Amino acid sequence: MAMRTSKPNRDAWSKPDMGYLLYAALHSAGVLATTLLMTWGVFVLFFAAIGGFSLAGVMHQLANMSNRYLAADADRITQFRALVFGLHLIVGGTILFLRRDNLRPRDPLPREHNA
């Protein structure tokens, strides 16, 4: 009796699982969107803290900042934008580091390799 040898299934490697790729893309978009919202929340919390955790204090600080922004020259505005961008990257990177367990999506349907 002749023995049959099984050939490796090359079709499984050539076709990506589009469902899982879409799931991973949606998961990544969700993680980035929630991280962006968290960074904006950190900035709101900062303004609330320097405003004494009152709405009037926050509005006073925002009015002060907007008056100074409008009175600034082009170089100063460029420096301010670079500062805000850098702070946004640092805060966002810190939040992503703290959420690093959520970056990789879990496999919704674990496959059995014993079959």
In a domain, 6, yes or no: no
8 Å CB contact between 58 and 51: yes
- For the stretch 17-46, pLDDT in tens is 888 889 889 999 999 999 999 999 999 999
User: Average of pLDDT values for 43-63?
Assistant: 95
In a domain, 111, yes or no: no
Report the number of distinct structural domains present in the chain. Answer: 1
Confidence of residue 5 (pLDDT cuts 50, 70, 90): low
In a domain, 41, yes or no: yes
In a domain, 1, yes or no: no
Could you identify the residue written with the tokens 């099984």?
6
In a domain, 10, yes or no: no
Confidence of residue 113 (pLDDT cuts 50, 70, 90): low
**Can you give the pTM of this predicted structure?**
0.71
- For the stretch 92-110, pLDDT in tens is 999 999 999 888 877 666 6
Distance in angstroms (rounded) separating the CA atoms of residues 90 and 40: 12
In a domain, 14, yes or no: no
In a domain, 32, yes or no: yes
Our CA dihedral for 96, 97, 99, 101, rounded to 10 degrees, sits at 120
User: Average of pLDDT values for 42-70?
Assistant: 95
Phi-psi region at 52: left, alpha or beta (left = phi > 0; alpha = psi -120 to 50): left
Q: What is the pLDDT of residue 19?
A: 86
Q: Which domain holds residue 94?
A: 25-102
Distance in angstroms (rounded) separating the CA atoms of residues 1 and 112: 31
8 Å CB contact between 88 and 39: yes
In a domain, 19, yes or no: no
Q: What is the pLDDT of residue 105?
A: 78
